[in-house]
Amino acid sequence: MCENSNDQYILMISTNIRIKDIAKMAGVSEGTVDRVLHNRGNVSAKALTKVSNVLKKIHYKPNLIARSLRRSKHFRVSVVIPEPNLDPYWAEVNAGIIQAIGEWGHYGVTIEPFFYTHDGKLSLELISNQALKSKPDGMVIAPIFYPQALQVFSQLQKKGIPYVLFNTNIPESKPLSFIGQDLFQSGKLAGQLMSIGHEATEEIVILHIGEDVKDSVYLIEKEKGFKEFYEKNIHHPYKITSLNLDSGEKSFRSKIESLILRESITGMFVTTSKAVSTIARILEDYPSTSVRLIGYDMLEENLKHLKSGLINFLINQNPKRQVFQGISHMANHLLFKKEIPRTELFPLEVITQQNVDSYIASGIH
Amino acid sequence: MCENSNDQYILMISTNIRIKDIAKMAGVSEGTVDRVLHNRGNVSAKALTKVSNVLKKIHYKPNLIARSLRRSKHFRVSVVIPEPNLDPYWAEVNAGIIQAIGEWGHYGVTIEPFFYTHDGKLSLELISNQALKSKPDGMVIAPIFYPQALQVFSQLQKKGIPYVLFNTNIPESKPLSFIGQDLFQSGKLAGQLMSIGHEATEEIVILHIGEDVKDSVYLIEKEKGFKEFYEKNIHHPYKITSLNLDSGEKSFRSKIESLILRESITGMFVTTSKAVSTIARILEDYPSTSVRLIGYDMLEENLKHLKSGLINFLINQNPKRQVFQGISHMANHLLFKKEIPRTELFPLEVITQQNVDSYIASGIH
DNA sequence: TTGAAAGCGCTAACAT
DNA sequence: ATGTTAGCGCTTTCAA
């Protein structure tokens, strides 16, 4: 029989000590205690020891609500992401920003989004500079173009503006925090999902579809992970090829069709989120073939094809929650001076026909 | 080409209107505005219209920080769950409580856990009464025993103490909020996972393993969902049987072994979280058989068997996050008078060998 | 170096 | 019915 453990928490009843109490106990003023707590100097050695001794005895937990009311500054956070009108993935991210505006508005945090494209007057660098002009208290950035991003970080560091990255990590920039996923592991997961229940020969194509070859640096991680899974775990014959395509080019559709018509293809893994629907649309015209199709993210069109069964699995990168979390971290940092994690890797969520609605219903929580 | 949409948010820059401002605009005192905002009566028709007119024009967002600082009551929340020492599932829940203590302690919310067992002096009813004696400001409860729970709710209603349910819903009790999962859909998901890649005849056993037959009411939902998936989607031959077992009984192991030895069994779906490891341990001794094994929750032993490949899928019920969310809802209700959702259904998370670590790393967020 | 005190925005008790 | 005010706990300015 196991004993009941109702007793062990009795000690946890909070003591609720205020600065005023500490001051009284140490025989100094509130101001002095505050100066000690924040190492702000101008404290005599004698006062310091008196206060320190009290602090050693009790466990002081500052009241974060009072602290932030006092600060009651109107914080402004700029969020810099690729133009949402050009890609539903970034439209999702933008939806996350809107949610954050609603949530953090209550706490006096204003969030201003800025959108960039690859080139010219709306480049990451120029848009970021525009964002900087309004002198925000913090920035949350999805830095998908490496060299331009470096310029931005050096600006931010010079001005002492804290920043949080999401989606794409650039560790050497030493951000306050990074929120994203382990892409290599994400590829391994795709590999596992592709192989479930397969025992005969498999022929698989990995498709990187998009305009910017630059992104491939990150997409390649997914490919590597996928291949590693097969190497280490699959003992029946298989063949994996990978292709870089631009859905804009004329020969795109015919290239895909010729793949399908070879009919030996058993699976396709599409590493970019909106492209998996492009493939699904083509597969739709070949109902007799059975290709296991795996892609990324709960974009509207992807959901349609997932529900109809054309797409078998989506791995959710949670674009909405990534920004939301990034903004929340920044807000907690500014508002409450809370400690925030240096990196936060999101779980690799598997979305199927049967759990997709549960994900839609639960939204961000 | 798509136009850039950087402009559309300029209006969103917060206006930050205080009660004082509204009072000035309406030509009344702050007290009157507050009375109107909270429908506290004692307001003349004339004053009411003046204030209402102003409120219609502007969008007043109360400063939640100031509000809660003012209240600055020391709230106490009791959490009532089954004894964690008896089942690793409830140990997980308990871990969620500990996290919540850390998180909400900063805001002056004290959380006191209470543990019950099925019978006698530690029953749900008696333990809840004990919790009530300390006159908490709110309660968060996992009411797994129906009739006893009803007693508790009537007590709570009589005393006007708000309560949030999680894990098991009892809608007729009209809780402030319920946090849990759609168990029927959870069963359907298990069905899908079981069937992936299978095209030959399947023979599947659904196992409900535990001491309390009472729980079965809910486990049956999972079974129904599972069967419904097969009925609607599977067109090759299959056979599904279901069994109620108690792992304590002597013949337990031999019953399972005889199932395995029949060798026609292709899959097992275990509806209770800790039992899937019991099955995995038995399967371990029959390495030549290949049974697809699906269970629930990221309990330590389950993770071991998932990683080794004995368990193929776990559906995560997220016990930790369920309590955490329940407590957070209660705290937000007490502290900030925030609106909280009547029911919150968690996503049905699919955990596999390849994404399990990403879930472990991400914890609660 | 230290203490005293104002005030963040909201609420409720109290006075009118 | 309405206005005034104290004060939640913390931070920071100002005066000593």
pLDDT digits (tens, 9 = 90+) for B70-80: 876 678 899 99
CB nearest A354 (choices: B84, B113, B192): B192
pLDDT of amino acid B215: 57
pLDDT in tens, B99-149: 888 778 777 788 889 999 987 788 899 999 999 987 888 999 999 888 889
Q: In the numeric block, which tokens belong to residue B127?
A: 């333990």
The reply to whether B301 Cβ lies less than 7 angstroms from strand C is no
What are the tens digits of pLDDT across the range A99-133?
888 778 777 788 889 999 987 788 899 999 999 98
Residue B282 has pLDDT above 70, yes or no: yes
Q: What count of residues does chain A have?
A: 365
Summarised one tens digit per residue, pLDDT across range B199-224 is 888 999 999 998 765 556 678 899 99
- A23 Cβ nearer than 7 Å to chain D strand: no
Whether the per-residue pLDDT at A8 is higher than 90: the answer is: no
Distance CA B351, CA A350 (A): 8
Q: Is the per-residue pLDDT at A311 higher than 80?
A: yes
Residue B283 backbone class (left: φ over 0; alpha: ψ -120 to 50; beta: rest):
alpha
**CB A137: neighbour CB atoms within 10 A?**
19
pLDDT score of A234: 95
User: Which bases of chain C come closer than 7 Å to a protein CB?
Assistant: 1-5, 7-14
Interatomic CA–C1' length for residue A15 and nucleotide C9, angstroms: 26
Helix, strand or coil for residue A337? coil
* Order of strands, sheet of A109-116, starting from the edge strand that comes earlier in the sequence: A109-116, A75-82, A138-141, A163-166, A177-180, A343-345
Q: Encode pLDDT of B222-273 as tens digits.
A: 999 999 999 999 999 999 999 988 888 888 999 899 888 876 899 999 999 9
pLDDT for A263 equals 67
Interface test with B, best of A293, A358, A359, A362 (most B CBs within 10 A): A358
Smallest CA–CA distance from B324 into chain A, residue:
A365
Q: How confident is the model at residue A134 (pLDDT cuts 50, 70, 90)?
A: confident
Find the mean pLDDT for residues A323-338.
Answer: 87
Measured CA to CA, the distance from residue B263 to residue A32 in angstroms comes to 77
pLDDT tens per residue across span A39-62: 888 889 999 999 999 888 888 888
- Confidence (pLDDT) at A135: 83
Are residues A122 and A116 in contact, defined by beta-carbon separation less than 8 angstroms? yes
Using 50, 70 and 90 to split pLDDT, how confident is the model at A227?
A: very high
* pLDDT at residue B5 greater than cutoff 60: no
What is the predicted pLDDT for the residue at A73? Answer: 67
> pLDDT of B38-63, one tens digit each?
888 888 999 999 999 988 888 888 88
Q: Are A296 and A303 in contact (CB under 8 A)?
A: no
Residue B233 near residue B170, CB atoms below 8 Å: no
A46 touches strand C (CB under 7 A): yes
Q: How far is CA B333 from the centre of its chain?
A: 17
pLDDT at B297 over 80: yes
Average pLDDT across chain B, whole number = 88
Q: Cβ–Cβ contacts within 10 Å for residue B184, how many?
A: 16
B41 touches strand D (CB under 7 A): yes
Could you give the C-alpha distances from A315 to A39, A348, B216, B261, in angstroms and in order?
47, 6, 33, 37
Instruction: Give B146 or B191, the one with higher predicted confidence.
Output: B191
CB–CB of B122/B116 below 8 Å?
A: yes
pLDDT beyond 50 at A309: yes
A365, A324 in Cβ contact below 8 A?
no
Give the alpha-carbon dihedral of B234, B238, B244, B245, to 10 degrees. Answer: -120
The DSSP H or E segment spanning B138 is strand B138-141
B250 touches strand C (CB under 7 A): no
Three-class SS state of B239: strand
Burial classification of residue B130, based on how many CB atoms lie within 10 Å of its CB (0-12 exposed, 13-18 middle, 19 or more buried): middle
Q: Are B79 and B139 in contact (CB under 8 A)?
A: yes
Query: Does the beta-carbon distance from A345 to B358 stay under 8 Å?
Result: yes
Name the residue closest to C10, CA to C1'.
Answer: B67
The reported pLDDT for the residue numbered B6 is 39
> What domains can be seen in chain B, in order of their start residue?
19-66 (1.10.260.40), 73-180+318-347 (3.40.50.2300), 183-316 (3.40.50.2300)
Burial of B20 (0-12, 13-18, 19+ CB in 10 A): exposed
Q: pLDDT value at position B94?
A: 96
Distance between the alpha carbon (CA) of A15 and the C1' atom of C10, Å? 25
pLDDT tens for A16-38 read: 788 998 898 899 999 999 999 88
Backbone angles phi, psi at A144, to 5 degrees: -80, -15
Question: Which strand ranges, in their side-by-side order, compose the sheet holding B313-316?
Answer: B238-245, B202-209, B267-270, B292-296, B313-316, B349-351
Q: Which residues does chain A have within 8 Å of residue B354's beta carbon, measured at their own beta carbons?
A: 185, 188-189, 191-192, 229, 348
Query: Which CB contacts under 8 angstroms, 24+ apart, belong to B318-322?
Result: B318/B346, B318/B349, B319/B89, B319/B90, B319/B92, B319/B93, B319/B96, B319/B167, B320/B92, B320/B93, B320/B95, B320/B96, B320/B99, B320/B364, B321/B96, B321/B346, B321/B364, B322/B93, B322/B96, B322/B166, B322/B167, B322/B179, B322/B180, B322/B346
Q: What is the mean pLDDT of residues A317-336?
A: 90
If you average pLDDT over residues A294-319, what whole number do you get? 96
CB B201 within 8 A of CB B165: no
Q: Residue B20 is encoded by which pair of tokens?
A: 């004082």
Is the minimum distance from the CB of A67 to strand D below 7 Å? yes
* pLDDT > 50? residue B3: no
Cross-chain residue pair A362–B353, CB shorter than 8 Å:
no
pLDDT at A338: 76
What sections of chain A are H helices per DSSP? Answer: 19-26, 30-37, 45-57, 64-71, 88-105, 124-133, 146-159, 183-195, 216-233, 252-262, 275-284, 300-308, 319-336, 356-362
B46 nearest nucleotide via C1' and CA:
D1
pLDDT at B155: 92
> How far, in whole angstroms, is CA B189 from its chain's centroid?
18
pLDDT of residue B213: 56
Three-state SS at A127: helix
Assigned token pair, B322:
């369920």
Q: How many other CB atoms are there within 10 angstroms of residue A365's CB atom?
A: 13
Could you tell me the end-to-end alpha-carbon distance of chain A, in angstroms, rounded to an integer? 38
Question: Could you report the per-residue pLDDT of A66-90, keeping only the tens digit for each?
Answer: 887 887 667 889 999 999 998 999 9
Q: Are residues B75 and B331 in contact, defined by beta-carbon separation less than 8 angstroms?
A: yes
The greatest distance separating any two alpha carbons of chain A, rounded to the nearest whole angstrom, comes to: 86
Residue B281, min C-alpha distance to chain A (Å): 22
DSSP three-state, residue A108: coil
Residues from chain B that touch A100, judged by Cβ atoms under 8 A, are none
The predicted pLDDT at position B263 comes to 67
User: Distance between CA atoms of A99 and A92, rounded to whole angstroms?
Assistant: 11
Three-state DSSP state, B100 = helix
Give the pLDDT confidence score for residue A2 in this predicted structure: 34
Q: Mind listing the pLDDT tens digit for each residue in A145-172?
A: 888 899 999 999 998 899 999 999 999 9
Percent of the residues in chain A that have a pLDDT greater than 90, as a whole number: 56
CB-CB contact of B323 with B140 (8 Å): yes
Q: How far apart are CA A271 and CA A248, in angstroms?
A: 17
- pTM, two decimal places: 0.83
Q: Which of residues 66-85 of B touch strand C (CB under 7 A)?
A: 66-67, 69-71
CB contact under 8 A, B346 and A362: yes
pLDDT at B354 over 90: yes
CA distances (Å), origin B123, targets A174, A303, B321: 53, 46, 25
pLDDT at B283: 93
Identify, with chain letter, the residue nearest to nucleotide C9 (CA–C1').
B66
